[in-house]
Amino acid sequence: MKIAIAQQNYHIGNFELNTQKITTAIKQAKSQGADLVVFSELSICGYPPLDLLESADFIGRCYSSIEIIKKHTDGIGVIIGAPQKNADSAGKKLFNAAWVLYNGEVLHTIQKTLLPTYDILDEYRYFEPASDWSVISFKNYRIALTICEDIWNLDKEPLYRNSPMDILAKQNPHLMINIAASPFDYAHCEQRKEVIKANVEKYRLPLVYCNSVGAQTDMVFDGGSLVYDERGHLIKEMSYFEEDFYIQDIAPKDPPPDSSSLKAGPAAEIPPFTPGHQGIMEILTVEVNIRRIHQALLLGIRDYFGKMGFSRAIIGSSGGIDSAVAVALACEALGAENVYAVLMPSPFSTGHSVTDAERLSKNLSNPYDILPIENIYHSFLSTLKPLFKDLPFNVAEENIQSRARGNLLMAIANKFGYILLNTSNKSELATGYGTLYGDMAGGLSVLGDVYKTQVYALARYINRHGEIIPEHIITKAPSAELRPQQKDSDSLPEYGLLDAVLYQYIEKNQPVETITGLDANPDLVNRILKLVNKNEYKRNQFCPIIRVSSKAFGSGRRIPVVGKY
């Protein structure tokens, strides 16, 4: 049986576009002689639709789209993902379902069993889990059809009580098909392949896996759809971070009679977290991870603008590493002509900050202007003089500069239709090293899930074919330049150590005892963790962050703003 995999980038709620993409791929599959074409999870409406699922009109349009697609299924089977109404009055009103269409009819619907409700995923809020499990029949083949998380319950300590494939395997299927919307993080690709291969090795069946691709606000889907044969050999690994189409002729043998009793191999097990300080730095900055982060950020920027109907970005360009990397990424994603850099030196800005930022924009050929804020800054001080009197200079005067810059950027954005891209990195957001309504302003955070050490690695990667980001920006000591001779190291530990501690605490949720055993002074670790905990109120007011790690700030990390821990 020739099975086509359509790895596509959907737009949430854009039923006309999504339906057009699906029907075009069906036509392509037909022209190449495919018997069956497979699309990803919730392909009809896009993933994740969130509370749009509570709208009767939204669900009605999902069903209308299915009716349109049915008309294109003469002579070819089609597997699509869409919500399905629950006919039972008990339980949630919807299922997350795979619909099997053929010759203008709905042959089967399969409901998702394992509903992820952790990190950025919240499916049990909307969907009822499946309560019965059957293989489907198509052209004399018995297919075990599952949806994303349904094949992920293979750990030693499984998250769920049931594994749909254990039940389906007893019905002697010939192959497995899994439709998915599996979000990206820079270490997830290997884990995903291990889990899929472990299913193949456990059930001794070929597996076709169709993943979504594209960015949806903060979530990035990287594609990488897969085909394995029954011996666990990888037949096809499809493109990452872009749409793709592939047809595989699968002629599965009769299923092994004892497939339901087989055990998953060690590939499904995730080893305990044990690397030391240097090991963490290697995880964060190894080139393969930096390359993936680079691709994900480009897709995140491009899809945010494209799907929102925006075209032009504005960025405050300080001559520092964060804004330089953000400008370079935006130029690559949107085109240099669509990225406007604004240089806003204050009385404390060094001369090289302006010249470095100018050189960056000249290297990239993006438009830029210089708007000094010294007069604005002194105007604020003059206005506040009756209240501030002769109190010593402190964070108030520092933040006035940052907020003046934020005001200018937003004024220009409003006047000319730009979207402000934020340049704060994850190390800064974690420790509260940023100014609300100042340098924390923006419509989208480019680097908010990228540690400072990774920002430097990204800069080196961007320069891999020649200098784009000036070398002086990469090598000089980082500074906010809000007071004389200021350096980040005045307020924060050395970034290599800081990021190692933050990674353990945020991504790995490690206890203080484990972190303090990592070449780190216990007092310093406790100081860092206190900074993370006390600055939740800042992050709670921050813009969406493009997620590239396993634990990003935002919707996937829910910490009380008012708390003591």
Contact 66, 35 (CB under 8 A): no
d(CA 90, CA 278): 53
d(CA 522, CA 339): 44
Residues in CB range of 214: below 8 A, 6 or more apart: 8, 9, 10, 220, 221, 299, 303
Identified catalytic residue from 45, 62, 148, 189:
148
Contact 523, 195 (CB under 8 A): no
Residues in CB range of 54: below 8 A, 6 or more apart: 126
Identified catalytic residue from 21, 41, 45, 398:
41
d(CA 479, CA 488): 5
Identified catalytic residue from 112, 307, 426, 538:
112
Quick one: how far is CA 307 from the chain centroid? 16
Annotation says 331 is catalytic: no
Contact 83, 123 (CB under 8 A): no
d(CA 30, CA 27): 5
Q: What is the total residue count of the chain?
A: 565
d(CA 100, CA 503): 43
Annotation says 41 is catalytic: yes
d(CA 145, CA 171): 12
Q: How far is CA 339 from CA 225, 305, 326, 369, 441, in A?
A: 33, 12, 10, 12, 17
Residues in CB range of 62: below 8 A, 6 or more apart: 15, 44, 45, 82, 83
Annotation says 148 is catalytic: yes
Q: Residue with structure tokens 């933050």? A: 502
d(CA 161, CA 164): 10
Partners of 539 in the β-ladder: none
d(CA 15, CA 79): 17
Catalytic sites, residue numbers: 41, 112, 148
